[in-house]
Structure 1
Amino acid sequence: MFQAIRTRPGLVLKSLALVLAALPLSPLQADQQAEPAAEQAQAGTLGKMSDRSRLDAMRIVAGGQVYDLGVELFVGMPDCCADAFGDPKYQLFLTHSPSRSGDSELVSHTSEAIFMSSHAGTHLDALPHFGLHGKIWNGADAKDALGVRGWSSSGAENYPPIIARGTLIDVAGAKGLERLPPSYVITVNDLKAALARQGSQIRAGDVVLIRTGQMTSWPDATGRSLFIEPGIGLEAAKWLAEETGAIMLGSDNFGLESFPSANPENFAPIHTYLLAERGMPFMESVWLEDLAREGVHEFLFVASPLKLKGASGAPVRPIAIPIAPQE
């Protein structure tokens, strides 16, 4: 189900990237080195992408192999927010279906209604998801920016399609573990050691994905709980956000950070730091097993969150395409 997809369309993508790379940027494109200021304010660090950065990422594609980084959504799937916070579990209902009587129908059709949390499965945490001292990103607060249908500031509809260079940091693999132990706090040294072992380097504009090994048992979530998940600590989050030039993070665990929190006054300090203070969205429950197994640590990353107006999260189906080695 999660095997890497090898398709001819990938070859088309590579060819297109090579053609685009050979074309000069128009004056308009050359001036458009980043999204307009207003869009940057709403999209946070994702607003740092530009026509130039997207083209630079596409021109180093090395082949047509595509890795699917999203998990299936299905009734009964593991869902940390449902278990931890009482959010609705994923449900799919048939609203129209063909007759089951055995009668031959000239025309039949099927439709469904889907009911789910915006934080189920592989998803992006949008900037309004967590606030600090009553404020979300951009200093917006619930009094002025939250209505019954969601946020008017920084909601999931504001994020552009993400096309960027990506780096996988396989922390579990670097330690020779199938998965990190419960509540393990990933440090800056852990990240640097894994990068050195892989021979990888984070570059400005990267999407950085961190593997804890929590997906090795998917979809069996026996024994898993958000509140005992391994993940990055605050110092590691600050290093990634402030010193590497990364524009977005992601992980294969339920909540990116390690739980329980070391801060008795803030149960999710990495969430509040990245979302409310740094304006950096991130992804959770990302499927990284294929990349890790095949040693693909640097790639073209492509994803497009659903444009859910006012939402604090959005389902996403990311893909990774290997790139040529860089000096």
Structure 2
Amino acid sequence: MTSPYTAATAPGILGALGAALLDGSVEVVDLTAPLSAATPVLPLPPGMAPIPPFALEELARYDAAGGDISYQNGLHTGEHVGTHFDAPCHWITGIDHGDVASVPVDRLVAPAVVIDVTARVAEDPDFVLQVADLRAWEREHGGLPRGWLLVRSGWSSRGDDQAAFLNADETGPHTPGMSAECARWIAEETPVLGVGVETIGIDAGLAFAFEPPFPAHHHLLGAAKYGLTQLRNLDRLPVTGAVLVGAPLKIVHGSGSPVRALALVARG
């Protein structure tokens, strides 16, 4: 049966979008990893408080505790577990730029572009994005937008295996990220609102040894920009033209939050 909802019944841009969603000419792509007890969690160095893994505490399951009719759980997790949003106050450099509850909503729905570094990461898991890589991208595709820069590394293929996802040895985790110079350039020289990655965090695995340590956190959050991590399905997005919806929980005083990240993509 043909839907009665058309651009004519809901005129204007939003009506056209609604109609496109219904007829499939705009697809909603889920960029979110499943959140469960098996979700990889970043082990922190000794002396730092560990990140608690995700867990469900069953409170009621169609039994007397739920009046025989309801099912519900308690949630136990760190803010930075699974596909999650980094607010500026997650890092000391962003302490004055707000918690996750204060992020302006117009920054949670924004254009997204994708830079594909999968081939280089396949050759070197310690690959770090450089300013030259982004300048080359701009020469081919135009300037970076006031929106999200998504780094497609292929790392999400490891996302169901903690050991493979962390890829650690005695020298530390070996996962891709960005150089300190690149992080500073994105923070200070571009209109980008935030960076999204497939890895467990927005910094490279060996970024503890960079100067400054963890420069993506240091520079981006210090510039009131954001991070999205543990994204999936970036291979289903165009290089330009997608719209990202990344809405974290509105946690007062929160430094971050699990998020359901979605992308709107035109098809056909």
For the aligned pair, the TM-score class normalised by the smaller chain equals: 0.7 to 0.9
Change beyond 3 A, Cα 1:64–1:80:
same
Would you say the 8 A contact 1:165–1:207 is kept in 2?
yes
SS at match of 1:311: coil
CA distance in 2, matches of 1:69, 1:75: 19
Change beyond 3 A, Cα 1:224–1:71:
closer
Matched with 1:64 is 26
SS at match of 1:111: strand
**Residue 158 of structure 1: how far off its partner (Å):** 0.6
TM-score for the superposition, normalised by structure 2: 0.78
Pairing 1:34-183 to 2, within 5 Å after superposition: 63-81=25-43, 86-99=50-63, 107-132=68-93, 136-138=94-96, 154-161=98-105, 162-173=108-119, 175=120, 179=122, 181-183=124-126
**Residue 165 of structure 1: how far off its partner (Å):** 1.1
Change beyond 3 A, Cα 1:217–1:316:
same
Change beyond 3 A, Cα 1:264–1:122:
closer
Equivalenced residues, count? 252
- Greater fraction helix: 1
Letter in 2 for 1:207: W
SS at match of 1:219: coil
Matched with 2:243 is 300
C-alpha RMSD of the superposition: 3.6
- Greater fraction strand: 2
Task: Encode CA deviations 1:144-195: one digit per residue, 9 max, x unaligned.
Answer: xxxxxxxxx711111133111111111215x4x6x46232221122234456
SS at match of 1:318: strand
SS at match of 1:316: strand
Would you say the 8 A contact 1:137–1:279 is kept in 2?
no
Task: Encode CA deviations 1:79-123: one digit per residue, 9 max, x unaligned.
Answer: 1257986211110111011349xxxx9942111001000000111
CA distance in 1, matches of 2:54, 2:98: 25
Task: Encode CA deviations 1:36-66: one digit per residue, 9 max, x unaligned.
Answer: xxxxxxxxxxxxxxxxxxxxx99x9993211
Change beyond 3 A, Cα 1:282–1:20:
farther
Matched with 2:149 is 208
SS at match of 1:74: coil
SS at match of 1:274: helix
Letter in 1 for 2:58: L
Letter in 1 for 2:225: M
Letter in 1 for 2:113: T
TM-score for the superposition, normalised by structure 1: 0.65
Matched with 1:145 is none
Would you say the 8 A contact 1:78–1:221 is kept in 2?
yes
Pairing 1:218-229 to 2, within 5 Å after superposition: 218-225=159-166, 227-229=173-175
SS at match of 1:235: helix
**Residue 78 of structure 1: how far off its partner (Å):** 1.1
CA distance in 2, matches of 1:99, 1:319: 35
CA distance in 2, matches of 1:267, 1:22: 44
Pairing 1:232-251 to 2, within 5 Å after superposition: 232-251=178-197
SS at match of 1:224: helix
